[in-house]
Amino acid sequence: MFVTVFLLLVALCAHGGNGEDSEETQRPGHVSVIIVGGTGDLAKKYLWQGFFQLYINQVSSGNTFSFYGGGLSPGEKATPVFFEILKAVSCTKDVSQERCALLKEQFLRLSQYRQLKTLEDYQDLAKDIEKQLQQEGMTEAGRLFYLSVPAFAYADIAEKINSSCRPTSGAWLRVVLEKPFGHDYRSAQVLASQLGSALKDEEMYRIDHYLGKQVVSKILPFRTENRKYLDPIWNRHHIERVEIVLKETLDVKGRIPFYDQYGVIRDVLQNHLTEVMTLLTMKLPANVSNSEEVLQNKLQIFSSLLPLGKNQAVIGQYQTYKSEVQQELNKTKDHVTLTPTFAAVLAHINEAQYEGVPILLISGKMLDERVGYARILFKNDVFCLQNHNNVHCKAKQIIFYFGHGSLQYPAVLVSKNLFKPAVTGSEWKEVTEHKDVSVLGLPISDYYVQTPAEEKEAYSELISHIFAGRKNSFISTENLLASWGMWTSLLSSLTSSFPRIYPGGAENGDMLDVRLRGKDISYNSEVVIISPDKMGDASANSFKVMQGKFRSADMVSAWTEELVETLAADMQEVAEAAIHEGGVFHLAVSGGSTPLALFHRLAVHHFTFPWRNTHVWMVDERCVPLTEPESNFYSVHENLLKHVKIPYYNIHPMPVQLNQRLCVEDDGGVLLYEKELSRLVNGSSFHFVLLGVGYDGHTASLFPGVKADQHGQSLVALTESPSKPHQRMSLTFNAINRAHKVVLLVMGKGKHELVTQLSRVKDALDKYPVTGVKPANGSLVWYIDYDALIG
């Protein structure tokens, strides 16, 4: 049996070869492929298939192979699993069943599972490879390690490879890595330098599987082949906008422990979409196969990008994400996550060629359809008076269509009013017959369409490029760090931004539509209104801000974003009225995380807010230096005051630190604040007091156990919190209840339980201090978001 197989293979080989990948001149010989994590999901789904494809392509190349699946489990346990995975590989259509069966059998015979855990395991592997080379008198061509393991294990494995698995001289070493490559610039740099001490840059192949997509790897060749048409129009005079879009319909259930730390920007924009952006905008290299030139031109784009700030991004989160996080991370109901599952980012390249051209990068989960594309939309300078369907009146665009969506197959589309693109080589073909679909606003018949002659899986493509040593399709260290350089400041400026909550699927409607204004991007619909009776099956266009009663006071309720918007507008109205009447507006604000969204809103959107005549007071303060992040004042300053034009003598932090001590009664901080307040605020009545409610029912720093008359007529008091830091300074009920208007802001599902209790309990100040908030002559309004109200 064995002999027959062998002869047959020889016969097949003699006929088979047409010298694929012959552009590389590497010495033929024996190649050892080691997938570390060889029984994992990625290996199972793509990698073994990719290596089998490589094996088929190389059968007649003069190279021989051994394949190792490495893992942490001992061999007895993992070997059967390993072979089950291998048995699932398949051939492409052009391979006959008979030949396929033979190839598969041979592939399995060349493969084995190895435990790869300790340094000795790696040393043993190296010994076995060398022994085999000697016994069979083979020259070694190279060793390919594919690290399909979590990134934290990379450095350790790379070290083991360096110290014990380098090939014999003259042979290559290639080590393949998968994202994530860090989660910001710093961590990427640390990882890069750890890897750099074990591996040379040319030995590392960082995969971005997008670069294995046929349409993505067509971008540069397409731009080159059609240079004569594109050169005159590939610039700011002709390009209206560039869009790089990856829409997904899936949620992230099951991947949350990973996803919640990364979010859509790190998961997709920093890598896939950024790579596509550089391919579209970089200067064309004289030789597209020259990796060094391609890299340099890419780096040039990174260095010309205008910095991305908060105003260059909008973020969203699908509605059920929060509860999925609570469930998968075993968090309580009050756990809040700001991780975006949708982002739209607006980039600009500061080069004469692209000045003012908006480059949009958009991706999200739970959207209406699954599709990926990059579109270059050109300006249309033709005005059609009568026949708007005339070809000259239609959109002019080039679309690199990665797949799925209405078209279903990868393609490059050029609108017919632009030019007819060249079709070169045998790898791409023109499509002239298609079903009647429309792609980004135009019927397919309005485009010239090209598609790959044969669709290839991205991983198989990349594996063949790794084998051929084509570094173009991989992310070099410099490229990686440049990309993190682009994204890191945006990511840190978004850490406390609230994503817009979207229902998911087609119901998103126009909620996630964005508007470009100069260099800034924002959601197109400022206020999304939700009607409470529709909230179960939210249809996005009937949403509404709801007015009602809560604990017999007025209540305003809406989704978080609209609630914050409404509150900001209401606050501005009170401020303007107060200033109209007495020339000044006295505002007392709380610390904590609940008002951050409001502060952000005020800082970013309410440019007309009368800050110049506003005095900002603190409702309460923790007894820590005001320069500590824990300090309420610090947070109000960082999130609001430093962003607005407010005179510094209008800002009134609580004097918690006097004589280099914190909240010592003898230092008289309480009296000092009270004095200042009585002096500046007419009747000691603030115009507006913004309060929150703690899970235990406390408000300001008035905690359960507080007595109604505890602070007498004082306006300010030192209090004790059950949680750290224990000492606080706080306005008293007396001060709060003298105010003209008091707002209690309650947000987040975590507060639902509390809201339910509060709606039922009678006034019980000692148990629920918040029930002691009862302005004597002023008004109380509860602002409660739907998450807190409905749960």
Ligand X SMILES: *[C@@H]1O[C@H](CO)[C@@H](O)[C@H](O)[C@H]1NC(C)=O
With the C-alpha atoms ordered 290, 293, 294, 295, is the resulting torsion angle positive or negative?
A: positive
Task: Compute the least distance from the CB of residue 17 to ligand X, in Å.
Answer: 21
Nearer to ligand X, 408 or 682 (CB): 682
Task: Compute the least distance from the CB of residue 200 to ligand X, in Å.
Answer: 5
**Cβ-based neighbours of 277, under 8 Å, separated by 6 or more:** 242, 244, 301, 347, 359, 361
- Number of CB atoms found within 10 A of residue 290's CB: 14
**Interaction site with ligand X (CB under 6 A):** 162-163, 197-200, 287, 289-290, 330, 582, 682-683, 685, 738, 776-777
Task: Count Cα atoms within 13 angstroms, Cβ side, for 601.
Answer: 23
Structure tokens belonging to residue 213: 């997509």
Q: Cα separation of 417 and 784, whole Å?
A: 54
Task: Compute the least distance from the CB of residue 551 to ligand X, in Å.
Answer: 20
Nearest partner of 291 among 466, 136, 103, judged by Cα: 466
Pick the catalytic residue: 30, 272, 687, 698? 272
Nearest partner of 83 among 37, 38, 128, judged by Cα: 38
Nearer to ligand X, 102 or 735 (CB): 735
Task: Compute the least distance from the CB of residue 23 to ligand X, in Å.
Answer: 7
3-state DSSP call for residue 754? Answer: helix
Nearer to ligand X, 396 or 615 (CB): 615
Nearer to ligand X, 524 or 777 (CB): 777
Going across the sheet that includes 30-36, the strands are 111-115, 64-71, 30-36, 140-147, 172-178, 204-207
CA distances from 129 to 27, 65, 165, 290, 385 (A): 18, 11, 9, 33, 75
With the C-alpha atoms ordered 726, 732, 737, 741, is the resulting torsion angle positive or negative?
A: negative
Nearer to ligand X, 27 or 237 (CB): 27
Q: Cα separation of 791 and 774, whole Å?
A: 26
**At 540, phi and psi to the nearest 5?**
-55, -25
Q: Is the peptide bond before 232 cis (omega within 30 degrees of 0)?
A: no
Nearer to ligand X, 168 or 289 (CB): 289
Nearer to ligand X, 15 or 679 (CB): 679
Task: Compute the least distance from the CB of residue 290 to ligand X, in Å.
Answer: 4
Nearer to ligand X, 563 or 575 (CB): 575
CA distances from 128 to 115, 699, 778 (A): 13, 70, 84
Nearest partner of 694 among 747, 772, 733, judged by Cα: 747
Q: Cα separation of 330 and 123, whole Å?
A: 41
Q: Cα separation of 421 and 227, whole Å?
A: 10
Task: Compute the least distance from the CB of residue 679 to ligand X, in Å.
Answer: 13
Task: Compute the least distance from the CB of residue 395 to ligand X, in Å.
Answer: 36
Task: Compute the least distance from the CB of residue 615 to ligand X, in Å.
Answer: 13
- Contact present, 197 and 154 (Cβ < 8 Å): no
Q: Is 272 a catalytic residue?
A: yes
Q: Cα separation of 152 and 571, whole Å?
A: 48
Q: Cα separation of 185 and 484, whole Å?
A: 5
Nearer to ligand X, 119 or 382 (CB): 119
Task: Compute the least distance from the CB of residue 121 to ligand X, in Å.
Answer: 17
Active site residues: 272
